[in-house]
Structure 1
Amino acid sequence: MAKIGYARVSTTDQDLSIQQDRLKREGCDLVRSEMISGASRAGRSELATIIEFLRPGDELMVTRIDRLGRDTRDVLNIVHECDERGAFVTILDPHVSTRGEMGRVVMTVLGMVAQMERRFIKERQREGIERAKGNRVYKGGKRRIDYELVKRLSDDGQNPTEIARAIGCSRMQVYRILSAIGANP
């Protein structure tokens, strides 16, 4: 019976070490981590790997429920998948485990709170953007990929896979950029 920790942050300017240290102190034999939004399960390969390898009696442990997900359905699906494998889910803050029925009820409520918090965050962000636009100080998000470089590499005959590898992004981003600038991949 293994304790497997899962740590997640949404952005590169956030620190995983606090979660990782706490999970290790709680006795996790292994801690997997990733930097990706918790708004959905899409792209969360470390979490998928943990769930795939859970055995009966194992325990998936996270520091807070929002590390597991910010959508009630996602959280409940994760708990269900762990249940199907005979494994448990434990949240450290507040301490809740699926080892008992009451823990499942509390986890459902916490999942709903995390989802509501996500909505509040997005609403505050939207209000801030509107206020900045009204004050004419909003510049929009920073462009992270050089569109001209993508076009130049495409014009030089490189395919989207090669371009993505060369500039360090996903192939889908390359397709989107080429579509936005009117170039055919």
Structure 2
Amino acid sequence: MSVLIGYARTSTVEQEAGLEAQKRELNALGCKRTFSEQVSSVAHREQLDVALDYLRDGDTLAVTKLDRLARSMRDLISIVDRIEAKGAALRILAMNLDTATPTGRLMLNVLGSVAQFEREMMLERQREGIAKARDEGKYKGRKPTARAKADEVRALLAEGVGPVEIARRLNIGRTSIHRIVKETSAGQSQATHL
């Protein structure tokens, strides 16, 4: 018996309403189970992997929009390959698209290519805008959030708290913590040579 499986995703915790709206739409469609997560599309999407592993022959993975599923055409093709390897199909509600049909598969490839083209054009315009702002002296870049928390990182390290826990508590990356540690030890070794 074929089963509808839902997948919902938003990029940040602040988009809770968007995630709930996706879940409601997937439940109204009749999804037996819906996997959801709040993670950037460029990060590892653990619940997407779980949903893909959950699929069985004849099942359909349903998503509300294409951008909730894939970050690029290559990513989309990889996901669709995993779905088809299971003997399952993909349904994208906003596009009324179902890869169980030959027309649906064709449309997915066309629309995925257009979406990737649009993203690349947007990134190009963004780079041009940043270059123009730099030339005009208006571009400052993003605020270095981890460096602003350097004192807190050092204090927690002094208390014996590990980098993973510090990253979780301060909501910064472990790489930033290691950079702060490296800069601190470099500063201390220079001070001892004076």
Q: TM-score range by the shorter chain?
A: 0.7 to 0.9
Residues 7 and 20 in structure 1, CA contact (< 8 A), matched pair in contact too: yes
Equivalent position amino acid for 1:30 in 2: R
Report the structure, 1 or 2, having the larger helix content. Answer: 2
Equivalent position amino acid for 2:23 in 1: Q
Distance 1:100 1:31 in 2: 23
Q: For residue 140 of structure 1, report the CA deviation from its aligned partner.
A: 2.1
1:157-168 superposed matches below 5 A: 157-168=160-171
**Unmatched tracts of structure 2, length 5 or more:** 187-194
Change in 2 beyond 3 A, CA 1:140/1:85: same
Distance 2:176 2:54 in 1: 31
Equivalent position amino acid for 2:55 in 1: L
Change in 2 beyond 3 A, CA 1:178/1:60: farther
1:73 — aligned with what? Answer: 74
Matched, 1:31 2:29: no
Change in 2 beyond 3 A, CA 1:183/1:3: farther
Structure with greater Cα Rg: 2
1:112-131 superposed matches below 5 A: 112-131=113-132
Residues 90 and 98 in structure 1, CA contact (< 8 A), matched pair in contact too: yes
Matched, 1:63 2:73: no
Please list the CA deviations of residues 1-50 of structure 1 after superposition, one character each: whole Å capped at 9, or x if unmatched.
Answer: 32121122234444323322222222222222223333x4x411111111
Equivalent position amino acid for 2:66 in 1: I
Change in 2 beyond 3 A, CA 1:130/1:89: same
Identity %: 40
Q: Secondary structure at the match of 1:93?
A: helix
Aligned length: 181
1:111 — aligned with what? Answer: 112
Kindly report the root-mean-square deviation, in angstroms, between the aligned alpha carbons of the 2 structures: 2.5
Equivalent position amino acid for 2:111 in 1: L
Segment drifting more, 106-115 vs 144-153: 144-153
Q: Secondary structure at the match of 1:86?
A: coil
1:149 — aligned with what? Answer: 152
Residues 22 and 63 in structure 1, CA contact (< 8 A), matched pair in contact too: yes
Distance 2:5 2:176 in 1: 33
**Unmatched tracts of structure 1, length 5 or more:** none
2:10 — aligned with what? Answer: 9
TM-score normalised by L of structure 1: 0.82
Segment drifting more, 108-117 vs 9-18: 9-18
1:81-92 superposed matches below 5 A: 81-92=82-93
Distance 1:60 1:120 in 2: 29
Change in 2 beyond 3 A, CA 1:37/1:167: closer
Distance 1:169 1:148 in 2: 13
1:50 — aligned with what? Answer: 51
Q: Secondary structure at the match of 1:19?
A: helix
